[in-house]
A and B are shown apart, each in its own frame.
Chain A
């Protein structure tokens, strides 16, 4: 099996963004996933978000683990460098990459097996460190690539395709991300691009650890009755806390208010997130409340989606480590080597 590169014939009527790029410029190779896979919808949302934000594709680094979900970075942003690492360990590689060059935008793509089972440790620690990234977890409750075993996010009592019932408690990645210190936490659904695209855009603009758990049905192994990650199940049980609009700071936007209450949250980079609340009592600035809210609705069998928590003044790992402004990978011997004279002094102190 080899990958097919999409022909890049530009249709003259395709819309262009601020950089003059069409959506096509944000695409990658043709997906090899099953037709109807939720992961492909997420890729489409990512393409839309990067295009709308007018980000130069080559200024993005895409990192992933192993799984169907982790294969997807090959299917968008074809002009970006990608790194399909090892199973469950994308967070550490992303952390190192981010340290080496703080000037790029880092996108981490993972699956629920990748993040909640084998990689649970790295998932937690990358949040703690506050690595500036957008971490997308394409959550289908199964191991797609290894053909349908339960993952650690499968709900207790949910049924696998061949009928086995899951008896183990699920890992709630959203609550975990909150506890571990992520400064932007959201949940969405692959089939809801109106919710997902603005969330991705806001996550990209967030200068800290941004996490989005995207429920993403696997048509091969969980889109059947009994699965709690199927399209139908999620549509029926979706409980949206807010609708989100996002404007990058460079664009002056006049806002049209629709129904419902709107709150504005200014991000570190000056951009503004507007939350159109469907639930007037939901405040995404309150981490403790967010946790309780998620748990309460979980108990009712509801999947809470939307922006669950945002720390607008988040600091990232570079700030914690007080690193220099120039990307490490641009520093040479002049900046890094203390020189022979200093070594003589060091020698002298060791006699």
Chain B
């Protein structure tokens, strides 16, 4: 029988019961690779419930540093009898099944093309612990110990991690270390050569950090100067607001007075949340709301108000699968159009597409600047895959000389000096008017903010010409936005290429890996990662300079492609969609296969490998 043998390159999947305490044990396991210098990318696959139902944790270990979901499973840690059959089926031929063999299972429950590794976990636990809760919790640590023994994870590394986790809680430290040791010893004694997957210390992690996108975005809001956060709980965005709360409690409490330099409101719904953020933005504080697709739907009337009344607003959309409640615990990039054109009437909005937690941090802070500068809603379009999984990412950076861009806010001094103020007056051709904050000056600069049409001086008007002048200016402002939003990033192929590829957001790691795999097959592609909307000239030039351009997305309806065609006037005949939308994160294998097939169908002969070097 085939036996998968691999060093520092494999996928292990844990099948657990939700709420059984497996999450922290699994995280400990994932982190141990990082401490051994081997890149790892774990992903939570969980259902929409709290306790009792299945949950999976997929860990990709890869010394080359590919962080996208790979697809396939080399070792299944099957701890949930309920999902046993499906879990066993998912293992790649020649792969491994690790399970609790306290109770014998009939041969029909196994496959003959996989290697079965049993360990009497329940028996060991029952012999060691009397308390049922302890039996459950320590079982998790024991299997981590066994895996460490089988794979060759350095025990000191895990001991160190346990030490950090239970720092100050000595009572818990010792029993956890003991449980770990118990598993380790068992594996060393009984399972030494059971598994062909091995790890060895490497030096491929470097300075990188391990953080969830939601936490990074929250930190970006702290650094970017947000003082007001209003939100309504919704997966997968809740942990963002919670992280903001956590970081603020640490970083934003005035040391002398003990007072908070932040306010967090859990609204009664998303309408209230966005309304609070808009009120704060109108009044000159930096504010944001975090939500997911259904929340965006509720916010749309208000988004139109903020667009038309020109109020700074930052919305973080951690996308999940829709429509309706859709796949609340799965990932997609399916809110692109809903956000780009959110609200009634002619509206369009600035979108930012971060690829990983590092950009979540960077773009969250930038979104607050852009919202103030452009006086409009700005969307940070992340998703569940980036938001709720810990990801290896470049360390977060901040330049202390960086100043917040508060945009065009006219001061009392300027008003006093007689500077002309027209709330909706374009004074310098960029389409962005000056605003005043309430309470600025006793007799100058007050105006009435409204969603109805007004003239340049904010006076109510139903004149068609005033309306047209105003919405044309808003278009000009959108042009200005192009000069401010992050530019696309080009990854050129090693040889001149006829094919191009456009992708964005969480597709990034899988795409990079796919590009290398495709190059290995002689298919060379120039890749452009779009980081924002409105689209800049680089994108047009890119499409124009390739015969065909693939647009890789995680939604059914090719939403970014629609935007490219609809808003940027790109000829749809030059674009070929590659779409993945089953709710799992897109994989390099998927992209590679799809593109290779299309290229073959287009009858293009791959460039010979030797010529490409």
Binding site for B on A (CB under 8 A): 1-3, 56-59, 61, 63, 73-74, 78-86, 89, 91-101, 103-104, 121-122, 124-125, 129, 317-318, 321-325, 328-329, 331-333, 335-340, 342-344, 346-347, 350-351
Contact = CB atoms under 8 A, between A and B. Distances in A.
A1 B265 contact: no
B269 interface: yes
Contacts of B282: 83, 93, 96-97, 100
Contact of A122 (B265, B268, B404): B268
B395 A347 contact: yes
Given A321-B263, A333-B403, A95 B448 contact: no
Given A84-B451, A124-B268, 5 more contacts: A93-B278, A100-B287, A328-B228, A328-B263, A333-B402
B156 interface: no
B221 to A, nearest CB: 10
A337 B225 contact: yes
A324 B260 contact: yes
B279 A331 contact: no
Interface in B264-282: 264-265, 267-269, 271-282
A331 B227 contact: yes
B301 A86 contact: yes
Given A89-B271, A101-B284, A81 B260 contact: no
24 contacts: A74-B448, A80-B438, A83-B279, A83-B282, A86-B275, A86-B302, A92-B267, A92-B272, A92-B279, A96-B277, A97-B280, A97-B438, A101-B439, A104-B283, A104-B439, A122-B268, A318-B263, A321-B264, A324-B254, A324-B257, A328-B280, A338-B223, A343-B223, A347-B396
A342 B251 contact: yes
Q: Helix, strand, loop or mixed for chain A's interface?
A: helix
Contacts of B274: 92
9 closest cross-chain pairs (CB), A and B: A96-B279, A92-B275, A329-B284, A100-B285, A81-B438, A100-B283, A93-B279, A96-B276, A96-B280
Contact of B398 (A93, A322, A324, A343): A343
A323 B275 contact: no
Contacts of A100: 227-228, 279-285, 287
Given A100-B227, A337-B225, A324 B261 contact: yes
Given A2-B459, A82-B449, A97-B282, A321 B400 contact: no
Interface in B172-231: 207-211, 219, 222-223, 225, 227-228, 230
Contacts of B277: 96
B554 to A, nearest CB: 26
B30 to A, nearest CB: 13
Given A97-B438, A333-B402, A336-B252, A84 B450 contact: yes
A258 to B, nearest CB: 37
Contacts of B440: 58
Contacts of A338: 222-223, 251-252
B302 A81 contact: no
A89 B275 contact: yes
B178 to A, nearest CB: 26
B449 A81 contact: yes
A111 B324 CA distance: 32
Contacts of B169: none
B398 A56 contact: no
Given A122-B268, A343-B398, A97 B449 contact: no
Nearest to A342: B251
B18 to A, nearest CB: 26
Contact of B283 (A58, A80, A96, A325): A96
A94 B279 CA distance: 6
A321 B403 contact: no
Nearest to A104: B439
A350 to B, nearest CB: 4
B279 A103 contact: no
Interface of B: 34, 207-211, 219, 222-223, 225, 227-228, 230, 251-252, 254, 257-265, 267-269, 271-285, 287, 301-302, 305, 309, 395-400, 402-404, 436-443, 446-452, 459-463
Contacts of B446: 58, 78-82
Given A74-B448, A81-B438, A351 B398 contact: no
Given A92-B271, A338-B251, A129 B265 contact: yes
Nearest to A335: B261
A323 B442 CA distance: 27
Contact of B438 (A101, A121, A347): A101
A101 B520 CA distance: 59
Nearest to A337: B223
B358 to A, nearest CB: 11
B209 A351 contact: yes
Given A96-B277, A97-B280, A99-B263, A328 B400 contact: no
Contacts of B210: 350-351
Nearest to B461: A2
Contacts of B207: 347
B443 A79 contact: yes
A311 to B, nearest CB: 22
Contacts of B281: 96, 100
A316 to B, nearest CB: 12
Contact of A95 (B262, B279, B400, B443): B279
B586 to A, nearest CB: 25
A91 B275 CA distance: 8
Contact of A99 (B208, B209, B269, B280): B280
Contacts of A98: 279
A61 B283 contact: yes
Nearest to B403: A333
A147 to B, nearest CB: 18
A333 B452 CA distance: 34
Contact of B459 (A3, A58, A125): A3
B283 A121 contact: no
Nearest to A95: B276
A329 B268 CA distance: 24
A336 B144 CA distance: 42
B272 A323 contact: no
B275 A93 contact: yes
A340 B223 CA distance: 9
B68 to A, nearest CB: 21
Given A129-B265, A333-B404, A96 B439 contact: no
A267 B150 CA distance: 72
Contacts of B209: 347, 350-351
Q: Of B34, B279, B305, B462, which is in contact with the most chain A CB atoms at under 10 Å from its CB?
A: B279
B84 to A, nearest CB: 35
B260 A322 contact: yes
Contacts of A339: 398, 400
A325 B259 CA distance: 8
Nearest to A61: B438
B313 to A, nearest CB: 10
B397 A329 contact: no
A121 B268 contact: yes
Nearest to B304: A86
A350 B211 contact: yes
A329 B395 contact: no
Nearest to A336: B225
Q: Which of A57, A81, A125 has most B Cβ within 10 Å?
A: A81
Contacts of B230: 92, 96
A94 B277 CA distance: 10
Contact of B451 (A86, A325, A335): A86
Contacts of A122: 268, 271-272, 275
Contact of B259 (A92, A104, A324): A324
Contact of A329 (B283, B398, B450, B463): B283
Nearest to A339: B400
A114 to B, nearest CB: 13
B332 to A, nearest CB: 27
B275 A96 contact: yes
A89 B208 CA distance: 44
Nearest to A350: B209
Nearest to B205: A351
